[in-house]
Amino acid sequence: MSTAAQISDSSVTYAGFGCGVTFLTEPLEHEVEITGPIAAKLWVSSATQDADLFLVVRAFTADLKEVTFQGALDSHTPIAQGWLRCSHRKLDEKLTLPYRPYHTHDEEQKLVPSQVYEVDVEVWPTCIVLPQGYRLALSVRGTDYVFPGEPAAGLATLGKVWTGVGPFTHNDPRDRAPAVFGADVTLHAGPHRQAHVLLPVIPMK
């Protein structure tokens, strides 16, 4: 990831049920505070009529070890997460803000396979200060985030093992048919497709 504009066309493809792709910044030159809502704009195509997007904002140390946090339920929670089914990408033009896409969820807009669509994804707000030398990352996945370390024990009533999203998983085959959501997904970027994640960076005094 970079603050520079994209000057050439590029794309990357990942499996619809795979761990996707991760975009990393260079090591931070100084301490950075991120406080507030987050949003991402992506250009997406799918090999089928739909795709599920799982976005994860992550933090890594200088030696690329992931740093997670104690969430409300899960002890390995990343900085922030966002989810969107591409067929539900329709925005409410009156309620949408640059930092908060507002989806109507009042109709399905199926994809034409291989056609590129502009998609805005709301990501949960956060409040975190990252030290100098750390890296920020955005992962775009086809499945729930999984902390790459040891799983955590969950409450017996909600699940015995948690891996970063607590009990809030998206793995019911009745809702995520492999023939539709398991197909390849491609992210596109370029001069006319400025894919980005909008972060609320607070100026440091």
Q: Which domains does the chain have, with CATH numbers?
A: 10-202 (2.60.120.260)
The whole model's pTM is what? 0.94
Q: For residue 149, what are its two tokens?
A: 């370390």
Walk along the chain (205 residues) and give the pLDDT tens digit of each residue.
Answer: 999 999 999 999 999 999 999 999 999 999 999 999 999 999 999 999 999 999 999 999 999 999 999 888 888 899 999 999 999 999 999 999 999 999 999 999 999 999 999 999 999 999 999 999 999 999 999 999 998 877 777 766 676 778 888 888 898 889 999 999 999 999 999 999 999 999 999 998 7
Helices (H), the chain: 178-181
pLDDT in tens, 141-185: 999 999 887 777 776 667 677 888 888 889 888 999 999 999 999
Q: For residue 96, what are its two tokens?
A: 């949408």
pLDDT in tens, 36-48: 999 999 999 999 9
